Chain A
Amino acid sequence: MSDAALELDGLTRRYGEREALSEVSLSLAGGHTLVVFGPNGAGKTTLLRVLATLLRPHAGSVRVLGRELPEESWAVRGRVGVLAHEPLLYRELTAFENLRLHARLHGVGAARVGELLEAVAMGARAHEPLRTLSRGMVQRVAVARCVLHDPELLLLDEPYSNLDPAAVELVARLIGGPGRPGEPGASGARTRVICSHDPSGGLAQADVVLGLLAGRPVLLADAEQVDPQEIAGLYR
């Protein structure tokens, strides 16, 4: 039995005729961090959505946490925490109401909602509608939502966007972050896949680096073997 948390072999995903991901193959051990680099439209978000079971692969095989996708998606849902570009929160509900809804969907007790809101310093604004909060505050609530059910795998799409340095420090305690390479999650070593545009910051957190260009993997290596200049080259 493999101890890999992620195993991709020839993963291909299309939107119509266009291949958003083409022949992506990699393996990531449990507790390790994969950082994905690439310019806009390179396929980073599509990769996260496939791993999250939100998109079906069109070719190749995908195993997440030991389960084959899409056949065993049901066994992966609830074990994955997703932090996307969109916060996946309702603007008219308060931070507390949003997290309470997610807690109910994931079978998590209400006490953890309050704890997490305090952990991201949103306790004082917990009962205000999200539409009245700044983008940084909403991002902090989204991070709390992402780890609410203590997932084994975190899928993070530019997790520190809109956050000031103090907020980065706060959320890094929950999802790991710059200056905290490989830090385990609250309940042990979490596997992470992070999409990043920051070569040095992303590299500092990575165990494995994947570079994508137009959906194709052009760089796949252990982080210590990667020069930041190689990553910067993806954006030229």
Chain B
Amino acid sequence: MSGVQELAPPPRSERPRDALAQTGLWRTVGALLRKELLVELRTLESVPGMSLFALSTFVVFHFALDRGSVEGDLAAGILWVTLLFAAILGVNRLFVTDAEQGGFDAFLLAPVDRSAMFIAKALTLLAYLALLELVAVPAFALLLLGSPLGPALPGLLATLALGDLGVAVIGTLVGALAVQTRARDLLGPLLALPLLVPIVIGGSRASSSLFEHAHRTGPAARWLLALGLYDLVFGLIAYAVFDFLLED
């Protein structure tokens, strides 16, 4: 006989029948987000890989183009396409830990709003993208623009924020779909790329004027609006269908 004492049950207010009311959406999102960031902090599986990919790509472009600097459409295209492919790396890893270690089942067994997982994953991807850009944008300016971003920075940050939001929403949706399949490494990019192309187009068009050396202006408003609308549409679609992606 061991010396362990018998456990009392948790207080009545903490019983599962009351948990759905108690465990609010944002409390659940907070718990999941904390878990995501802790796991990434300890494994360093996503953000370092995404950042290294972006840095390597800029280095390749720097030597392949063999010119002192790039500007306008070309500069914007290089930046957004590089960020897109780096983001795909993160999307592919977004749900892998949950699928491999039973996190999906554990979450599905809890009496919580399933939208919480969508929001937490999208916020996680958003955080990854922000960290990626913290490294990638200065490297881009150094290796390809040949000059600091200076006054173009606020406009670029606004454009990136709208682009990141769309990538986070679509990436979460696609990641949840792909991870349930055996060919998830292939299916993820195949599904994500067509859906993310409008973001690359919108982001490039909106920011190309920021990279003009001679006539630098602010980001193109109509493309910012288009990005915002695209984010909104996919945000609503994702919110509506995400529950079904988790179901059997």
Question: Known: A77-B110, A79-B17, A166-B2. Contact between A90 and B9, CB under 8 A?
Answer: no
Is the CB–CB distance between B39 and A90 below 8 Å? Answer: yes
Is the CB–CB distance between B101 and A77 below 8 Å? Answer: no
CB nearest neighbor in B for A188: B9
How far does the alpha carbon of A92 sit from the alpha carbon of B101 in the complex, in Å?
Answer: 10
CB nearest neighbor in A for B98: A90
Q: Which of B39, B97, B102 contacts A84 (CB 8 A)?
A: B102
Interface 1/0s, chain B 4-47, versus A by CB < 8 A? 11111111001111111011000110111011001100110000
| Majority DSSP secondary structure for residues of B touching A | helix
Q: B103 → chain A, closest Cβ, in Å? A: 6
Is the CB–CB distance between A187 and B9 below 8 Å? Answer: yes
Is the CB–CB distance between B110 and A90 below 8 Å? Answer: no
A:78-98 near B, CB below 8 Å: 78-80, 82, 84, 86-93, 97
Question: Which residues from B are CB-within-8-Å of A170?
Answer: 2, 4
* A207 contacts B by Cβ under 8 Å: no
Q: Please tell me the number of chain A residues within 8 Å of chain B, measured between CB atoms.
A: 48
Question: Known: A109-B11, A129-B42. Contact between A77 and B108, CB under 8 A?
Answer: yes
Question: Which residues from A are CB-within-8-Å of B240?
Answer: none
Is the CB–CB distance between B39 and A78 below 8 Å? Answer: no
Question: Known: A109-B14, A150-B10. Contact between A104 and B28, CB under 8 A?
Answer: yes
Question: Which residues from B are CB-within-8-Å of A135?
Answer: none
| Majority DSSP secondary structure for residues of A touching B | loop
* A211 contacts B by Cβ under 8 Å: no
The CB with the most chain A CB atoms within 10 A, among B6, B27, B32, B101, is that of B101
How far does the alpha carbon of A188 sit from the alpha carbon of B12 in the complex, in Å?
Answer: 13
* B66 contacts A by Cβ under 8 Å: no
Q: A16 → chain B, closest Cβ, in Å? A: 13
Is the CB–CB distance between A112 and B14 below 8 Å? Answer: yes
Q: Which of A55, A106, A109, A119 contacts B16 (CB 8 A)?
A: A106
CB nearest neighbor in B for A86: B102
Is the CB–CB distance between A89 and B22 below 8 Å? Answer: no
CB nearest neighbor in B for A93: B38
Question: Known: A79-B17, A87-B102, A89-B102. Contact between A104 and B1, CB under 8 A?
Answer: no
Question: Which residues from B are CB-within-8-Å of A8?
Answer: none
Is the CB–CB distance between A78 and B17 below 8 Å? Answer: yes
CB nearest neighbor in A for B36: A90
Is the CB–CB distance between A104 and B4 below 8 Å? Answer: no
A:135-178 near B, CB below 8 Å: 145, 149-151, 166, 169-170, 173-174
Q: Which of B10, B30, B102 contacts A108 (CB 8 A)?
A: B10
Question: Which residues from A are CB-within-8-Å of B106?
Answer: 88-89, 102, 105, 145
B residues touching A (Cβ–Cβ < 8 Å)? 1-2, 4-11, 14-20, 22-23, 27-28, 30-32, 34-35, 38-39, 42-43, 97, 101-103, 105-112, 247-248
Nearest 5 A/B pairs, CB to CB:
A78-B111, A107-B19, A187-B9, A78-B16, A88-B102
